[in-house]
Each structure stands twice: as C-alpha cells, then as structure tokens.
Amino acid sequence: MTGLTSEERDLLAPVERATILARTLDWAAINSGTGHIEGLAAMAGQLAEAFAVLPGEVTLVDPAPVDKVDSQGHAREVVHGRHLVLSVRPQAERRVILTGHMDTVYPADHPFQTCRWLDENRLNGPGTADMKGGLSLMLAGLAAYERSGATLGYDVLINSDEETGSLSSAALIAELAQGKLAALTYEPALPGGQMARARPGSGNYAVVVHGRAAHAGRNPEEGRNAVLAAGDLALRLAAMRRPGLSVNPARIEGGAPNNTVPDLAILHFNMRPATPELAAEAQAHIQAAVAEVCAAHDVHMHVHGHVSRPPKAISAGTEALYGMVSKAAADLGQPMSWKDTGGVCDGNNIAACGIPVLDTMGALGGSIHSPDEFLLADSLDARARLTALVLHRLDRHGVLPA
C-alpha cells in the first residue's frame, strides 16, 4: 500500500475482515426478499442496531404507496418494508450520501437459504454479494472514517425495494441526494472487480388488454381476442429494439378456456433506453403501437408503468469522483477500472439528481440473483478500507479534483 500518508495508515490499520465477515454471515441468514415483509423487518432491526454505533440518528421510514397490476388486470397496492436512514452531522456544510439495499431476490420459500464455503475465499450464500457483504463493509468503512476526526456530514440510506425498482423509495432517494458533494452506492462490483460506468434507464410496464368473450365454436367472429392483441403488441414492441434501446416482452397473463375467445390479457415488458431522448422516443412508440393494435383488434388497452430508473450518464463530476476513488484504490494496491453496463440500480436515481455517484463500491463476487451467488471474502476488508480512505480524502480536500 504505497502512496498513503502515516495518518491514512493509522486510519486503516484497525479494519479487519473477521468482524465484517461475521456480520455478513449473520445478515445473510435473514431471508429479506423484497416481498418478505417479516424478514425485511428483522433485517431492518439488525441494521438499525448495527449502524447505531455511528454518531448519528437512525430512523425507519415508511415506504411510499406503490400499485402493481394483478393477474385480473386490477391495480393493487403492494406492501413494502420500511427504509433505514442514518443522518450524521446534518448541519455540516459538506455532505455525502451512501446507499445500499436490504432486500434480496430470494422469496421466503426459496430453497437458497444458507451459506457454505466453496473454498477458503468464496462464500456461497443468498445476498452475500448483493448486498449483505456490501452493507457490512460500508459500516466498517464508516466506523474507520469516524476515528479520523471526521467533519464530513453524510446520510446513509438502506432501502427495502431496490431489487424491484425502488418505487417505494425513489422520492426518499431524491430527497436525500439533494445538495450532496458525492454519492457512493454499494452494489457489488462487476466481474473482475470493475466499477460500473454509464447505465441505461429502465422501465417496467403492464398493458391490460380488454377484448370481448365469445364461444370459440358457435360465434368466434363476435369475440375480440385479448391474447392475440397482446401478442401483436409484443411483436411491435420487440421491433422497437435498436442500439441504445432494448425492449423485452417478458410475460403474457390472462386467457380463457380453449372453447372461449379470451377477453383479458396482460402484457408485461421491460424497456431500457440509454438516453433520455431514446426514452421519450420509445414512450411515443409505445403509445402509437397501443393505438394501432387497439384499432386493428377492436380492443381496449390501459398502460401502467414508466421509466422509473432514468438513464445514468457520466458527468464531469462523476469522472472526477472516479479519478479520486481510482487513485485511492491504487494507493491501497487495488487497481481499478470501469466500464458501461446494461444493469440499473439506485445510482441511476442519484445521478438524475445531478450528484456524482459511483455505484459499485460493494463487495466482489459473482452469479448474483442465482443460487450460485458468491462473495469473495478478501474483498470485504479491502473495500472497507477503500470507503474509509475515500471519505477521509473527501474530508481533507474539501472538493472533488478538477
């Protein structure tokens, strides 16, 4: 670890892997799938107790209301867990925000519930990389930073719904991001330890198609087939794909018995535009395609959804933040690079507020969102040191490098 001052060496010396790993194992043992409200409450309680060691106020914030279209085509409110917020030195002139999420993609009845070691460094377990390990190392990094005579203010936001789009926490993210010098988000690093650069936007949609039922044998001509119309729309949406815009028709629900012309179908699709201009253009295409299909099939459609994750462009401030973090990583013996990725996260929402953000500050690992998910244990203390050093240098330098 060359390039560190004696003060920085003293700051980082107490960071040790065992404590971070033990916390990660404890938290990975709690099933906190986005829809498992009891598990999220247990996880929030554990996090509140753990982050209370920092010199700030911990609160649990109620989620904003969110509707989702059910299998009958009705918009129903979806229950979410509460979000954790820690505010440290709220009156400080210079403040940053650190974000993460407590939810995982594994529901309460998923068979992937326990951790096991694949070798001396790879820990297989639900949420170990995404992102129980990231939350644990974030805390360790903050605790180390606080031992350095810290003056930088910060907010920590750990939401309960990132894996389903942060719809119940989006307003909270925007509120807390305002006025911040920089943002660090603890998504796992990309394969090989790379940092995520630009990201596309993302929107999830449900189109409810209402047709007209009829007997499939006696009078099919009097029916209006909702499934056929949904399929036509899916093909038209898929044809919108182009460089910078992906459209994925993912599921059609509804239908009827084989002897009945179906009068209900719901088409679910995801759209990922690389730029705001493409997002606006795609939205216009969706509206046009819906109008064309309604006219062609004599059906009615209702579109639910929008681009909830804005495209994440790279600003000069983000370039400067990456340069600072990359220099800190190099000084720690952790060479770093970054590249564009097709995934989305809360970094999209923060960047849309005009705040420089690095959103892959978390643990290294792989195979996330699958039963093969694993964490590299040696990244826990390494990334905790990186967090502490970055905050320390932001504190001492006051501004991002030009």
Q: What is the pLDDT of residue 3?
A: 87
Residue 246 CA from chain centroid, whole number: 18
pLDDT, one tens digit per residue, over 40-59 is 999 999 999 999 999 999 99
Instruction: Answer whether 44's CB lies under 8 Å from 34's CB.
Output: no
pLDDT, one tens digit per residue, over 236-266 is 999 999 999 999 999 999 999 999 999 999 9
pLDDT, one tens digit per residue, over 118-173 is 999 999 999 999 999 999 999 999 999 999 899 999 999 999 999 999 999 999 99
Nearest to 85 by CA among 103, 108, 60: 60
- The number of C-alpha atoms within 13 Å of 174 and in the hemisphere containing its C-beta is 13
pLDDT, one tens digit per residue, over 313-354 is 999 999 999 999 999 999 999 999 999 999 999 999 999 999
Nearest-angstrom CA–CA distance, 229 and 254: 12
Q: What is the pLDDT of residue 397?
A: 84
Q: What is the pLDDT of residue 148?
A: 86
Nearest-angstrom CA–CA distance, 255 and 269: 17
Residue 17 CA from chain centroid, whole number: 25
CA distances from 241 to 249, 279, 290 (A): 11, 12, 16
Residue 110 pLDDT class (50, 70, 90 cuts): very high
Task: List phi, psi (to 5°) of 342.
Answer: -90, -5
Mean pLDDT of 175-189: 97
Mean pLDDT of 97-107: 98
What strand order describes the sheet that includes 56-61? Answer: 56-61, 83-88, 153-159, 95-101, 183-185, 357-358
Instruction: Answer whether 133's CB lies under 8 Å from 363's CB.
Output: yes
